[in-house]
Amino acid sequence: MFTSVDDVSARLAATGYLASPAVATTVFLADRLGKPLLVEGPAGVGKTELAKAVAEVAGARLVRLQCYEGVDESRALYEWNHAKQLLRISAGRDETWDETRTDIFSEEFLLTRPLLTAIRGDDPKVLLIDETDKADIEVEGLLLEVLSDFQVTVPELGTITATRRPFVVLTSNASRELSEALRRRCLFLHIGFPDEELERRIVRLKVPGLDAALAESVVRVVGALRAMDLRKVPSVAETIDWAHTLLALGADTLDETVVRDSMGVLLKHQDDVLKAAAKLDLDAV
C-alpha cells in the first residue's frame, strides 16, 4: 500500500491527518508486516481518526466494531437470521428435512457482523475495533483467531479465510489491561500528545483562520497546562476547540480576560480551572 515512511506521512497529510514520525513508521510497518495495529493513548489525540485517514488513503471501506461491555459473538462476528430461517422452513412444507437443513444454514441466512464483513470479499478494507478495552475479556479470545490468521470459523459453513487481508486498527484507552496474547499479535503504538511544532501545524490546519502568532501562544499555554498535575489534561481535541473558540470570540492575542472566559473549553474540572488560573497568574476566577 505504501512505498516508504515519507510516503505514509505525505499521503496521510493529504487527507488532513498530520502524523508524527512514530505514527507514520508504525503504520508503514503494519502495512508491510501485515499485522494489526494496537493504538493506545489518552482520549482525543486522534486514535480513531488515524483509522479513518488510513481508510481514505487506501481507498478502502472502513468497517467499524464499536466495543462495549457485553458485546458478544453475535454482535461482533456473525448471527443466523432466525426469522428468515423460520420463514424458509414454513415456505417449503413438502421438502424433506435434509434439503431444508442444508438450505437454511447457507450464506443467504447468515447475518455478517463487522469482523466477518472485514474478512469476506475482495475489496480493500480497514477494520477498526474501537475501544477494545471496553469489551469483556471473553471477546479478546474471539479476536485472537481473526487477528492472527484472518479467519473465522462458522461451524455450519466451515472456516472462512480472508482472500485479502484487511488493515486492522485496534484502539484502547487502557481502562483495562488487554491480555498479553492479544498484545503479542499486534504492533503497539502509543500516541501521546504531539510536540509543540506538530501541534502548531495541526492547529493551523484545522483552524485555518487563526493568526500564526496566536496559534503559537495557544500551543504554548496548552503545553504548560499539560505539564501540570491536573485531573484531566487538555488533549489535542481541546486545543482545536479552544482555537475555534478564540476565533469565534475574535481575539487577536491572548490576554487575561480572554483566557479566563474561555478556560472552560480546555479544562473540565473546577479544581483544574482554579489550579490553572493560579499558574497562569489570572486574577481570581
Partner 1 sequence: MTAPSAGAVSDRLTGLVAALRAHGVRIGTGETVDAAQAVAALGLADRELLREGLAATLLHGTGQRQVFDPVFDLYFPRGVGGPDGESADREDLRERLASALASGDQALMAGLAAEAVDGLGGYGASPGSDGWSSYQTLDRLRPQTLLARVRDDIRARSGGPEFADRLLDDEIRRRIEVFRGLVAAEARRRVAERRGRDEIARRAVAPTADRVDFLFAGKAQLAELRRTVQPLARKLATRLAARRRRAARGSIDLRRTLRGSLSTGGVPMRPVLRRRRPARPELVLLCDVSGSVSGFSDFTMLLVQALHDQFSKVRVFAFVNRIDEVTGLLVHGAADPEGLGARIRAEATLTGWHGSSDYGVALGEFAERHENAVGPRTTVFVLGDARTNMSDPNLPALRHIAERARRTYWLNPEQRSQWGTGDSAAPAYAGLVDMHECRTARQLGTLVTRLLPV
Task: Give the closest residue to 188 by CA, choosing from 19, 31, 23, 2.
Answer: 23
Residues 231 and 279 sit within 8 Å (Cβ to Cβ)? no
Region binding partner 1 by CB under 8 A among candidate stretches 85-93, 95-103, 153-161, 255-263: 255-263
Please state the closest distance from residue 246 (CB atom) to partner 1, in A.
11
Q: Which of 220, 158, 169 has its CA nearest to residue 48?
A: 169
Interface mask (CB under 8 A) for partner 1, residues 12-51, using x and -? ---------xx--xx-xxx-xx-x----x-----------
The CA-atom distances, in angstroms, between 211 and each of 12, 16, 204, 238, 239 are 24, 19, 8, 18, 15
Confirm or reject binding of residue 98 to partner 1 (CB under 8 A): no
CA neighbor of 191 nearest in space, from 6, 36, 49: 49
Dihedral Cα 5, 185, 147, 7, nearest 10 deg = 0
Q: Residue 152: beta bridge partners? A: 160
H-helix or E-strand containing 161? strand 158-161
Q: How far is the CB of 258 from partner 1 (least distance, A)?
A: 8
Binding mask 207-236 for partner 1 (x = CB under 8 A): ------x--xx--xx-xx--x-x-x-----
Q: Given the complex with partner 1, which of 104 and 225 has the nearer CB atom?
A: 225
Closest CB to partner 1 among residues 86, 228: 228
The mark string for 188-207 relative to partner 1 (x by CB under 8 A, - otherwise) is xxx-----------------
Q: Which residue in 70, 184, 205, 248 binds partner 1 (CB under 8 A)?
A: 184
Q: Which residues contact 36 (CB under 8 A, 6 or more apart)?
A: 30, 147, 168, 169, 170, 185, 186, 187
Among 144, 162, 187, 265, indicate the residue that binds partner 1 (CB under 8 A): 187
Applying CB under 8 A, which of residues 13, 162, 237, 280 lies at the interface with partner 1?
280
DSSP state of 51: H
Would you say how long the chain is, in residues?
Answer: 285
Interface residues toward partner 1, by CB under 8 A: 5, 21-22, 25-26, 28-30, 32-33, 35, 40, 137, 174-177, 180, 183-184, 187-190, 213, 216-217, 220-221, 223-224, 227, 229, 231, 253-256, 259, 271, 275, 280-281
